Structure 1
Amino acid sequence: MAGSLLDRAIYSYPDVDRLVGLHSGTAKRWLEGYVRDRRFYEPVLRQEPTGSDSVTWGEMVEARLLAEFRSREVPVQRLRPAIVQLREEFGRYPLAHARPLLDVSGRELVRAVQERVGVDPSLQLVVVRSGQLVLADAAERFHSAVEYDDDEVARLKPEARTPGVVMDPRRAFGQPAIRSVKTEALAEDYRAGTGRDDLADLYDLTIEQVDEALRFELIAASERAA
């Protein structure tokens, strides 16, 4: 895994909460574990706590997949035994190697792991429907939002309604961007009074790209306020 894009540490815990749409503090609990009623709960997405304030691209991607389950009644902590088993099969970031894990050839392995560790049905990555082994709805949403280089997730579309906005750890510091221009920067300039035409000229974008970036920021702001 040396030199893997997945190892690139470019985020903070608040970044992950904000970009993935989690309640404040959730990313740190998933990655560092937490104490409740004098009991320590192990991290879900790390083998063990690291004490680091940085989050890698691989961890961001895995948090994005876990976030698809955040509205479930069952806590994602219960997925940890399955992730531990998948880590043995796929390496440090099993959920960020989702192409082999979630493609047809890998689903049988995932199902075997789910059955072996007793994953709650509402947290399963693959399920049987009409006699076919298919992705669960949450896994399907994730699968449609990511792009791969080889078998690693290399790009992520944070919002399905704005597919031109992409997170790429090699561009714009991994923040949501359109053609390498941060959507946040476009929104700040727009709020400061710069018109859409001027923004398009300034950043060498089309009007449609400017509008998509602004729409993404509006959606993100409304979801954070919810």
Structure 2
Amino acid sequence: MKRDLSMIGLGLYTPVEAAALTHVEPPKIRRWLCGHVIGDKTYPALWKSQLEKFDMEQLHLSFLDLVQLRVAKAFIEAGLSPQKVRRAIEFGSEIVASDYPFASARFRTDGKTVVLHVLKTDGDEELIDLFSQGQYLMQKVIEPSLKNLEFDEAETAARWWPLGRGKGVVIDPQRQFGQPIDDATGVPTSVLAEAAKAEGSPALAAKRFMVPLASVHRAVAFEQQLAAA
């Protein structure tokens, strides 16, 4: 697909690429972002991708979609239904003044308010008791799903270090359309890993791309981890 230059800074991921990074299956990603129908009941999308305005033929996700996806997954695994997650996003958008409340640093402090508001509206006493424990919400849901994120001055997720900053692999929507890259060189990890395979060794790949050997080793290790997940 030809990439529109106006998408620069947003990130661009297919459902398959997003699935590899977030561990949410592609069909589920499509249901969450596009909605679906079961029998005579229609389930609306949990939220709409900010790339929808580009009128692409198939679903694509932005970097903020990727971040919000991780948090939505954590909430659903903790017991919230997708419908309740959708309402949490709607209410959270008002609280943190962002279309992507789950990708906001403010959600660390305001998340409990958002979740309990939704649960009390539904009267789900069991989950109310569970999520009223702020420590549970932080340790089990919010902190793990926001781990290794960097936020900008507007408190919005700006970069993601999937293995931790010290490992040198970053997902930055301002670089390479948000594909995982070796931070030191800016080369996508997939490119370096594929080069190592094609050339027969990391050393030859490093020579071909004129990058440090450590960059190729990082890329290969990261891509192997993605493939194994």
TM-score calculated relative to the size of structure 1? 0.76
1:23 matched residue in structure 2: 25
Q: Give 5+ residue unaligned stretches, structure 2.
A: 1-6
**1:127–1:14 distance in 2 versus 1, CA, 3 Å:** same
Alignment of 1:53-202 (within 5 A): 53-69=59-75, 71=77, 75-89=81-95, 90-97=97-104, 99-102=105-108, 104=109, 106-107=110-111, 109-110=113-114, 112-118=116-122, 121=127, 127-129=133-135, 135-150=138-153, 151-159=155-163, 163-179=167-183, 180-202=186-208
Q: What displacement does 1:114 show? A: 4.8
Q: What displacement does 1:149 show? A: 1.2
Give the counterpart letter for 2:160 in structure 1.
Answer: L
Q: Using the alignment, how far apart are the partners of 1:174 and 1:185 within structure 2?
A: 14
Alignment of 1:3-14 (within 5 A): 8=10, 10-14=12-16
Residue range with higher mean Cα deviation, 60-69 or 199-208 = 199-208
Q: What displacement does 1:112 show? A: 4.7
**1:13–1:147 distance in 2 versus 1, CA, 3 Å:** same
Asked if structure 1 preserves the Cα contact closer than 8 Å seen for 2:9 and 2:174, the reply is no
Structure 1 vs Structure 2 CA RMSD: 3.4
Q: Give 5+ residue unaligned stretches, structure 1.
A: none
2:39 matched residue in structure 1: 37
Give the counterpart letter for 2:171 in structure 1.
Answer: M
In the comparison of the two structures, how many residue pairs are matched?
Answer: 212
Q: Using the alignment, how far apart are the partners of 1:30 and 1:158 within structure 2?
A: 23
Q: What displacement does 1:143 show? A: 2.2
Q: Using the alignment, how far apart are the partners of 1:37 and 1:70 within structure 2?
A: 22
Give the counterpart letter for 1:20 in structure 2.
Answer: T
Percent identity of paired positions between Structure 1 and Structure 2: 23
**1:28–1:37 distance in 2 versus 1, CA, 3 Å:** same
Q: Which protein has greater RCO, CA pairs closer than 8 Å, 6+ apart? A: 2
Q: Using the alignment, how far apart are the partners of 2:222 and 2:204 within structure 1?
A: 19
Asked if structure 1 preserves the Cα contact closer than 8 Å seen for 2:35 and 2:45, the reply is yes
Higher fraction of helix: 2
Q: Does 1:211 align with 2:225?
A: no
Give the counterpart letter for 2:44 in structure 1.
Answer: E
TM-score calculated relative to the size of structure 2? 0.75
